[in-house]
Amino acid sequence: MKKDKGLLIVLSGPAGVGKGTVCSALRQEDTHIQYSVSATTRNPREGEVDGVNYFFKTKEEFENMIEHDQLLEWAQYVGNYYGTPIDYVQKTLDEGKDIILEIEVQGALKVRERFPEGVFIFLMPPSLAELRNRIVGRGTETEDLINKRMNVAKEELEMMKKYDYVVENDEIHLAVDRIKAIVTAEHCKKDRLIHKYKQLVEVD
């Protein structure tokens, strides 16, 4: 019997909302979900590893990937490029494995154009004040960059209506539980299972 195609799960939301933290916690609990590593031209933060957290690229390397159509999506955000290498994503889905993309809102909307069958989840902060506290707490951005991120975040919250689901990241374990419930429900959708019913009928 042909292997079912995996789910493409896209998790995005404003910078500082906790996408990386939630993804890490989700992968620890649900090990069958593969993680798609994005490419970026931003500098690594302390503890980040090339090829694990991101593929860190120069501007020239990234623009070469754009030119050769090697990215599922890409966007410029606060002066840096971010994008998703397409080969790994497609290979994982064809193997019947679920894959999660942790990307910026601009990128998520581009993925929706190419993969409308994906599952799009918007991670929402409890409040803008809490979002600012989380960005400040990183200790990696200047006041000017923090203000830019907050202005972008307000615009991104308007994009929430373009997603399938909204998950509030008030507590990490609750956000993870909500995402796991969404993935389970998506696997049970009629449109994803109708081919199995047809196979049963043909056998009988």
pLDDT digits (tens, 9 = 90+) for 143-189: 888 888 888 888 889 999 999 999 999 999 999 999 999 999 999 98
Q: What is the DSSP string of 48-65?
A: --BTTTEEE--HHHHHHH
Q: 83 lies in a domain?
A: no
List the CATH number of the domain containing 172.
3.40.50.300
Query: Sign of dihedral through CA atoms 181, 184, 189, 192?
Result: positive
What gap in Å lies between CA 123 and CA 11, rounded to an integer? 7
Query: Which tens digits make up the pLDDT trace of 27-52?
Result: 888 778 988 888 999 999 889 999 88
Q: 184 lies in a domain?
A: yes
Which residues span the domain enclosing 152? 8-36+98-203
Q: 42 lies in a domain?
A: no
Q: 60 lies in a domain?
A: no
Q: How many domains does the chain have?
A: 1
Q: 120 lies in a domain?
A: yes
